[in-house]
């Protein structure tokens, strides 16, 4: 985990600024690399020790590897504690870590001395290969922190250059060929510095990408919060005057003198109920997207829900000359435990689409109850069928196939209905053909409270 991720996970941790942030990130990267690299170092050094034992003809390489195993496990434990300390918001001292890194580098490179002075020429070659591997490991795992990189790489470079120089003077300082390895070490140092810079540039680019991703997430969260706040304010601003208008219309409906006036006022009341439902849809869509909407089941009558939904669209259907009726099965239980508000909301939205896109014929609601797989429950099916325009397979696929929940053609109501159905453990399906109307089916399981059946609606 990088430093940014740790900081995001602990909002109570004080923010680190400038160099401190970079230091924390560097220590995290070094710690993670050393912990992950421990087993590979142990295995590769075991192979080198076995080869060295065959060259030297004694068990000193095995003894060296046993000691190195203790060093590697201790180093791994140190860096694990380092990660925990950083995660807790502490700033560990670097002095002991730099000294320890240099000490283990020196100990690890003592094998190169054994190989260099072996009686066989391959010993020198293996020593150089081993030192180059140690240098690459230091650059790869310690690169994020310059001090630790120097602590791990300088002893290795010292061995790589010091052994040929010692050999040159030990042989009388006459054979300049003994110094060729020094030239090679200098070239290797140049390549190593370039590699180190490239790796640092890659790490910096990765860190910038992570920071950009975090900023995008924060911006998205802020946008979602702003949207939620806007919806809530709009809801609050509109709901109060709208409820006043509905209340006034209901009062006028009660005192209206003529049937014609009562009919017009009833239309006004129903239109207000539709607007109220739209506001509820906006609020619920935001809650569904935020995962904060809860389903609240309670004993309810299916017939009451259906009658309430139909009454809201009776005037609109009459104005268009449409038939609007319900067919509820005679064996429908009297009381079922479900969220009446959500079921009515789904049925309301399905009816709204049906009435809106039907120009002739009618809209029919069929409600049935079947035995559910679990005992004590029924499977309710609300079927809303219309004789309207219908939809093509492509339109149905756009709505259901990719689970897209909102769009210009399918509207907010259907978006809410699809999400609410899933939240209640149910689903909505649709069958439609252009010019032949549509059939939407909302199905879900619910516990039965009372099985006494009333007369059909």
pLDDT per residue, tens digit, the chain (457 aa), is 333 333 333 434 443 333 446 778 788 888 888 888 888 888 988 998 898 888 888 899 999 999 999 999 999 998 888 888 888 877 777 888 889 989 988 998 888 888 888 877 677 778 888 888 888 888 778 877 888 888 888 888 888 888 888 877 877 777 666 667 666 667 766 776 777 677 777 767 777 777 778 788 878 777 767 766 666 676 666 666 767 777 777 667 677 777 777 666 766 776 676 677 667 766 666 666 666 677 889 999 999 999 988 888 888 888 888 999 899 998 899 999 999 988 988 998 899 889 888 988 999 999 999 988 888 899 999 999 999 888 888 877 777 754 444 443 445 678 778 888 988 899 999 998 888 889 999 999 999 998 764 433 3
439 and 306 assigned to the same domain: yes
pTM given for the model: 0.48
In a domain, 355, yes or no: yes
156 and 302 assigned to the same domain: no
Measured CA distances, 19 to 16, 145, 199, 318 (Å):
8, 12, 19, 74
Rounded CA separation 106/372 (Å): 74
Q: Is 334 helix (H, G, I), strand (E, B) or coil?
A: coil
In this predicted structure, what is the pLDDT of residue 402?
Answer: 47
In this predicted structure, what is the pLDDT of residue 277?
Answer: 66
CA torsion through residues 400, 403, 408, 410, sign? positive
Q: Which residue range(s) make up the domain with 127?
A: 3-174
Q: How many CA atoms lie within 13 A of 199 on its CB side?
A: 21
Rg (CA), the chain: 38
In this predicted structure, what is the pLDDT of residue 220?
Answer: 75
In a domain, 73, yes or no: yes
Looking at 174, 204, 226, the residue that finishes a domain is 174
CATH number at residue 397: 3.30.565.10
Looking at 123, 149, 174, the residue that finishes a domain is 174
Q: Which of 68, 50, 74 is nearest to 109 (CA)?
A: 68
In a domain, 221, yes or no: no
In this predicted structure, what is the pLDDT of residue 11?
Answer: 38
Contact indicator for 452, 301 with CB cutoff of 8 Å? no
Contact indicator for 355, 324 with CB cutoff of 8 Å? yes
In this predicted structure, what is the pLDDT of residue 83?
Answer: 87
In this predicted structure, what is the pLDDT of residue 24?
Answer: 80
Looking at 123, 152, 174, the residue that finishes a domain is 174
In this predicted structure, what is the pLDDT of residue 238?
Answer: 67
Q: Helices 302-319 and 340-356: crossing angle, nearest 10°? A: 20
8 and 144 assigned to the same domain: yes
In this predicted structure, what is the pLDDT of residue 338?
Answer: 93
- Number of domains making up the chain: 2
Alpha helices in 117-256 (DSSP H): 122-142, 146-170, 180-255
In a domain, 229, yes or no: no
In order, the DSSP letters of 227-273 are: HHHHHHHHHHHHHHHHHHHHHHHHHHHHH-SSHHHHHHHHHHHHHHH
Rounded CA separation 96/439 (Å): 75
In a domain, 256, yes or no: no
In a domain, 234, yes or no: no
In a domain, 280, yes or no: no
In a domain, 395, yes or no: yes
Say if strands 377-386 and 438-450 run parallel, antiparallel, or are unpaired.
antiparallel
Residues 6 or more apart whose Cβ sits within 8 Å of residue 421: 346, 427, 428, 442, 444
């Amino acid at each position: 985990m990088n430093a940014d991720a740790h900081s995001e996970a602990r909002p109570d941790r004080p923010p680190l600024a400038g160099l401190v942030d970079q230091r924390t990130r560097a220590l995290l990267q070094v710690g993670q690399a050393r912990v992950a690299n421990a087993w590979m170092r142990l295995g590769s050094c075991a192979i080198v020790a076995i080869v060295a034992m065959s060259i030297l003809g004694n068990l000193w390489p095995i003894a060296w590897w046993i000691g190195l195993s203790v060093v590697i496990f201790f180093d791994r434990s140190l860096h694990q504690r380092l990660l925990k300390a950083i995660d807790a918001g502490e700033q560990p001292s670097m002095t002991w870590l730099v000294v320890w890194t240099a000490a283990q580098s020196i100990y690890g490179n003592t094998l190169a001395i054994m190989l260099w002075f072996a009686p066989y020429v391959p010993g020198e070659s293996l020593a150089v290969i081993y030192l180059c591997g140690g240098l690459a490991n230091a650059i790869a795992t310690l690169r994020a922190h310059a001090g630790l990189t120097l602590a791990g790489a300088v002893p290795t470079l010292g061995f790589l250059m010091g052994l040929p120089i010692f050999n040159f003077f030990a042989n009388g300082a006459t054979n300049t060929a003994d110094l060729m390895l020094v030239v090679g070490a200098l070239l290797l140092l140049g390549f190593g510095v370039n590699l180190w810079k490239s790796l640092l540039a890659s790490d910096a680019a990765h860190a910038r990408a992570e920071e950009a991703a975090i900023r995008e997430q924060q911006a998205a969260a802020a946008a979602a919060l702003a949207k939620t706040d806007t919806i809530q304010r709009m809801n609050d601003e509109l709901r109060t005057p709208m409820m006043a208008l509905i209340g006034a219309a209901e009062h006028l409906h009660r005192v209206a003198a003529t049937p014609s006036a009562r009919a017009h006022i009833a239309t006004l009341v129903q239109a207000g109920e539709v607007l109220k439902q739209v506001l509820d849809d906006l609020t619920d869509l935001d809650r569904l997207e935020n995962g904060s909407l809860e389903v609240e089941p309670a004993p309810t009558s299916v017939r009451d829900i259906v009658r309430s939904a139909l009454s809201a669209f009776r005037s609109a259907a009459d104005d268009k000359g449409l038939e609007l009726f319900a067919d509820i099965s005679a064996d429908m239980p009297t009381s079922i435990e479900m969220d009446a508000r959500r079921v009515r909301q789904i049925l309301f939205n399905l009816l709204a689409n049906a009435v809106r896109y039907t120009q002739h014929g009618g809209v029919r609601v069929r409600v049935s109850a079947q035995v559910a797989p679990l005992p004590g429950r029924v499977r309710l099916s609300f079927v809303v069928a219309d004789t309207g325009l219908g939809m093509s397979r492509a339109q149905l696929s756009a709505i259901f196939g990719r689970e897209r929940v909102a769009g210009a053609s399918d509207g907010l109501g259907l978006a809410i209905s699809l999400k609410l159905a899933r939240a209640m453990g149910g689903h909505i399906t649709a069958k439609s053909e252009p010019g032949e109307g549509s059939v939407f089916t909302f199905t879900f399981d619910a516990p039965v409270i009372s099985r006494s059946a009333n007369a059909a609606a």
